[in-house]
Amino acid sequence: MRKLILNLHLYTALVAGLFVIILGITGSILAFEDDLDRISNQKLLYSEPKGKMISAVSALDRLHGAYPGQRIAVLRLPSRRDGVFIAAVRGVQVYLDAYSGEIHGTRSGVSLLQSIHNMHLRLMMGKPAGTFVGVVGIVIIFLVLSGIYLWWPLKRSTVKFGAPARRASFDIHNTVGIYSAAFLLILAITGTAVAFDDTVFPWVYKVTNSTPPKRSAPSTVQPGAPAITPDEALRAASDALPGAAPIAVLLPPNPKGSFVIAMHFPEDLTPGGRSWVIIDQYSGKALSVESSRNPPAGTRVEIVNRAIHTGDIFGYPSKILMSLASLMLVVQVITGYWMWWKKLRSGRETPQKAPAVAR
């Protein structure tokens, strides 16, 4: 039985190792995606705090002046005192100073961090590859569990660095593997759930006897009545969900559309928040309210699962842990490959015994 598990562990790792390395490296980077974006794009993403921030209406006026006739679909509000307004205009992201309204610049196409994100989710090959990433997640679960089984008899948990390279690799593989096993299992299980979210979370809603919240509701058209302003919609959303701060507004796409306001509570586990308010664009009434403080059971599971996988659940301490755990995947694959290669070479280099000579 042990030999069978060892062979399955070995050959599964050999086949999937490259993809495990990709997920490990990209995952370790994505734990700090927002921070890295701010550091590398300060000219776009930094506003010098001075005076009072401009309103959403003022920001939209500046945008309409710079892009006459263009529809603005989304306006993200500054999430920090030194943040910026971010608008989506025909596939281009436009960045506005939160105090002066000056346009800092634009971004179009796919950035390096977005490419890394896409590589982690779908290997940059579209949605079907997302299923393959989920399969790799299942493979990692198997490798961790089988690795624990193989480690158990020897229970090697220290590294003898003065030993030959193959022995040191063996020690590193065992030691790193056992100390990171719990974190790797958590990463793999939550990541697999994300990859198969179309299957997993409908099942979760069914098991928990809960219903996914609706995030669309039409406005009641009132002939001759003017539409409310985005600032009025933001105030209505704040009144409907006290304690939450608006972080983005999706503007009505047509006369029957509504304002969709994304909200964020101080204790929310992810920067994007998990609360929404839909506002009638004529009456200013809240048509639907979704709060992360009392979501349906299925939504709560989905929120926590993603927060655990990204490391957002406990802030920077958990981000660091998950980033390091992702890198440990890379260490495991490299040391595993090294041991296999050295064993393969030693087998080839073993001299054959000379046949006996008859006398």
Give the residue-averaged pLDDT of 51-71. Answer: 94
Give the residue-averaged pLDDT of 300-316. Answer: 94
So where are the chain's domains?
A: 2-34+113-208+312-345
In whole angstroms, give the CA distance from residue 164 to residue 186. Answer: 33
In this prediction, residue 272 carries a pLDDT of 80
Contact 321, 28 (CB under 8 A): no
Give the residue-averaged pLDDT of 87-100. Answer: 93
CA atoms within 13 A on the CB side of 86: 15
Q: Write the pLDDT tens digit of every residue in 109-141.
A: 888 999 999 999 998 887 788 899 999 999 999
The average confidence (pLDDT) of the chain is 91
Cα 68 from chain centre: 35
Which of 115-119, 157-161, 355-359 comes out lowest in average pLDDT?
355-359
Across 209-228, b (16+ Cβ under 10 Å) vs e yields ebeebeeeeebeeeeeeebb
Q: How far is CA 305 from CA 79, 115, 127, 222, in A?
A: 23, 23, 20, 42
Global confidence as pTM? 0.88
